[in-house]
């Protein structure tokens, strides 16, 4: 991006443009959009502390880009504003989640991952939004993101007025709760900005007290190394034994801190068809998922975010679920059958053996 396009658009009525951007964002299927500047000074301090304490675990990408994450114009030169968007993924029956979590034979998959990979859905829509702006004002400098680069998405969204960062560290909103994804367009147009959202967590500490692994080590601070989402999705190695019992039947991510949040009773069901849960992933028995071969895994997770963890971590996670399942011949036979497969990693085998030991 250069300063050229900024100058070229000096005649544009910027408030009218912002109003149109918000309307187009809704027409494209986003649930809200807001505009902010690029000053993230306070957040930079918190991010630094988090990294210094090692709370990012093995997510090297959280620090390897230096200050690019907290200084948008170091990532994309010329950026002066950020258009933040949010897109709901909640389904009508989201409360069913609690029932599944209590059934040790069924696999619990985070609600966000049951449909099509949100990265693909949101990126495409953001590109359409940018093109729509271009059609109105002519060429300008921009880049679109959704969890795809060093971008401090929640801080930018909070500053854009889309919600506040809750004690569980997710962004939430008093009208819709927190079941939504975030995305951004970095732009070089000096648009009027929105006011930040105010915080309404009050004295509630449900998320802190009810987190299964006590990963929310203080309000607004999640130690990723303890978080089930990190352990089951980001960690590529063996999952420390001390967390395996608490993981229960959660084989991909965790939603507990959001399920216990009182604001989520206002959640809106998404209109996005791509987020419709896939039958092959919803309410499935752990034993049936363990029976999938690597080919089955690749086939059933095509276009899904789950594919990114790979087959060995998938088996590792299901093994933990089965180690925690009610003992039965079906469970033990399924684990033993899997151990006969010849392409398993040492990590997967170790978890399957651990699962067998739980039923001894
Ligand atoms: C790394 C990461 C993770 C890590 C670490 C989580 C975390 N809290 O950072 C892990 C793997 C654990 C994870 C899990 C999940 N993630 Co995630 N994740 C990210 C990612 C890539 C970066 C987040 C980040 O910047 N972390 C850095 C830390 C320092 O930020 P933070 O904890 O939020 O801390 C901020 C504030 O809390 C504040 N702060 C920190 N300390 C203190 C102390 C005090 C006293 C105060 C006042 C403030 C304060 O300042 C910090 C900087 O802004 C973003 C995408 C992106 N590029 O932004 C998605 C993202 C945050 N994840 C998302 C989702 C959906 C999830 C899960 C719900 C998925 C799931 N169901 O399993 C869980 C939720 C777990 C949780 N409670 O956070 C969504 C969240 C949408 C939303 N509504 O907020 C995002 C935005 C992706 C997206 N594009 O939609 N995630
Ligand atoms: S996602 Fe689960 S493990 Fe992670 S902080 Fe929330 S409740 Fe705790």
In a domain, 197, yes or no: no
**pLDDT exceeds cutoff 90 at 33:** yes
Euclidean distance between CA atoms 65 and 149, whole angstroms: 9
For residues 168 and 232, membership in a common domain is answered with no
For residues 118 and 211, membership in a common domain is answered with no
d(CA 167, ligand 1 centre) in Å: 11
For residues 181 and 224, membership in a common domain is answered with no
d(CA 260, ligand 2 centre) in Å: 11
**pLDDT exceeds cutoff 60 at 53:** yes
**pLDDT exceeds cutoff 60 at 194:** yes
pLDDT tens digits for range 142-176: 999 999 899 999 999 999 999 999 999 999 999 99
Has this prediction a pTM greater than 0.85? yes
In a domain, 107, yes or no: no
For residues 174 and 231, membership in a common domain is answered with no
For residues 298 and 333, membership in a common domain is answered with yes
Query: Which ligand 1 atom sits nearest the alpha carbon of residue 148?
Result: 57
Active-site residue list: 147
38 close to ligand 1 (CB < 6 Angstrom)? no
What pLDDT does 92 receive?
82
In a domain, 192, yes or no: no
Euclidean distance between CA atoms 356 and 319, whole angstroms: 9
For residues 248 and 127, membership in a common domain is answered with no
pLDDT tens digits for range 98-108: 999 999 999 99
Range(s) of the domain holding residue 348: 206-269+276-358
**pLDDT exceeds cutoff 70 at 7:** no
List, in sequence order, every residue forming a beta bridge with 222; answer none if it has no partner. Answer: 216
216 close to ligand 2 (CB < 6 Angstrom)? yes
228 close to ligand 2 (CB < 6 Angstrom)? yes
Pair 187, 82: CB distance under 8 Å? yes
For residues 137 and 180, membership in a common domain is answered with yes
Query: Which ligand 1 atom sits nearest the alpha carbon of residue 229?
Result: 72
For residues 30 and 165, membership in a common domain is answered with yes
What pLDDT does 45 receive?
97
In a domain, 122, yes or no: yes
What pLDDT does 268 receive?
86
Query: Which ligand 2 atom sits nearest the alpha carbon of residue 213?
Result: 3
How many structural domains does the chain have?
Answer: 2
What pLDDT does 3 receive?
47
What pLDDT does 93 receive?
80
Euclidean distance between CA atoms 226 and 36, whole angstroms: 32
- Residue 70 in tokens: 């907290």
Largest pairwise CA distance in the chain: 75
In a domain, 200, yes or no: no
Any alpha helices (H) in the chain, and if so which ranges? Answer: 3-8, 14-27, 41-52, 72-75, 96-102, 118-137, 153-159, 206-210, 228-229, 241-247, 256-259, 286-290, 294-300, 310-323, 329-339, 346-358
For residues 312 and 242, membership in a common domain is answered with yes
For residues 182 and 222, membership in a common domain is answered with no
147 close to ligand 1 (CB < 6 Angstrom)? yes
**pLDDT exceeds cutoff 60 at 2:** no
Residue with tokens 């230096």: 66
d(CA 25, ligand 1 centre) in Å: 23
Query: Which ligand 1 atom sits nearest the alpha carbon of residue 233?
Result: 11
In a domain, 100, yes or no: no
182 close to ligand 1 (CB < 6 Angstrom)? yes
What pLDDT does 8 receive?
59
For residues 164 and 28, membership in a common domain is answered with yes
pLDDT, average across residues 330-350: 98
Pair 106, 100: CB distance under 8 Å? yes
d(CA 154, ligand 1 centre) in Å: 7
In a domain, 196, yes or no: no
In a domain, 101, yes or no: no
């Amino acid at each position: 991006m250069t300063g050229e396009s900024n100058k070229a658009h000096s005649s544009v009525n910027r408030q009218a443009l912002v109003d149109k951007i918000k309307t187009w964002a809704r027409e494209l299927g986003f649930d809200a959009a807001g505009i902010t500047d690029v000053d993230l000074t306070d957040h930079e301090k918190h991010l630094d502390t988090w990294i210094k304490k090692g709370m990012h675990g093995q997510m090297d990408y959280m620090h390897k880009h230096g200050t690019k994450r907290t200084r948008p114009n170091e990532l994309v030169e010329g950026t002066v504003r950020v258009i933040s968007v949010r897109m709901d993924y909640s389904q009508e029956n989201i409360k069913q989640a609690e029932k599944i979590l209590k059934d040790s034979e069924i696999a619990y998959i985070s609600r966000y991952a049951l449909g099509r990979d949100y990265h693909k859905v949101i990126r495409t829509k953001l590109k359409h939004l940018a093109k729509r702006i271009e059609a109105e004002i002519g060429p300008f400098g921009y880049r679109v993101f959704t969890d795809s680069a060093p971008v401090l998405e929640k801080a930018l969204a909070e500053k854009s007025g889309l919600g506040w960062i809750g004690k569980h560290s997710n962004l939430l909103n008093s009208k819709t709760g927190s079941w939504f994804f975030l995305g951004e367009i970095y732009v070089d147009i000096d648009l009027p900005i929105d006011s930040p959202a105010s915080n309404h967590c009050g004295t509630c500490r449900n998320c802190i007290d009810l987190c299964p692994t006590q990963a929310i080590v203080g309000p607004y601070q999640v130690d990723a190394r303890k978080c089930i989402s990190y352990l089951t999705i980001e960690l590529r190695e063996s999952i420390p034994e001390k967390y395996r019992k608490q993981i229960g039947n959660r084989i991909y991510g965790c939603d507990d801190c959001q399920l216990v949040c009182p604001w989520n009773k206002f959640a809106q069901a998404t209109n996005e068809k791509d987020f419709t849960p896939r039958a092959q992933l919803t309410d499935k028995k752990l034993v049936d998922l363990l029976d999938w071969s690597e080919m089955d895994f690749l086939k059933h997770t095509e276009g899904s975010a789950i594919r990114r963890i790979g087959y060995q971590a998938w088996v590792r996670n299901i093994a933990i679920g089965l180690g925690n399942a009610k003992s039965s011949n079906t469970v033990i036979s399924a684990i033993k059958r899997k151990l006969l497969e010849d392409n398993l990693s040492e990590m997967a085998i170790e978890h399957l053996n651990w699962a067998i030991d739980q039923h001894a």
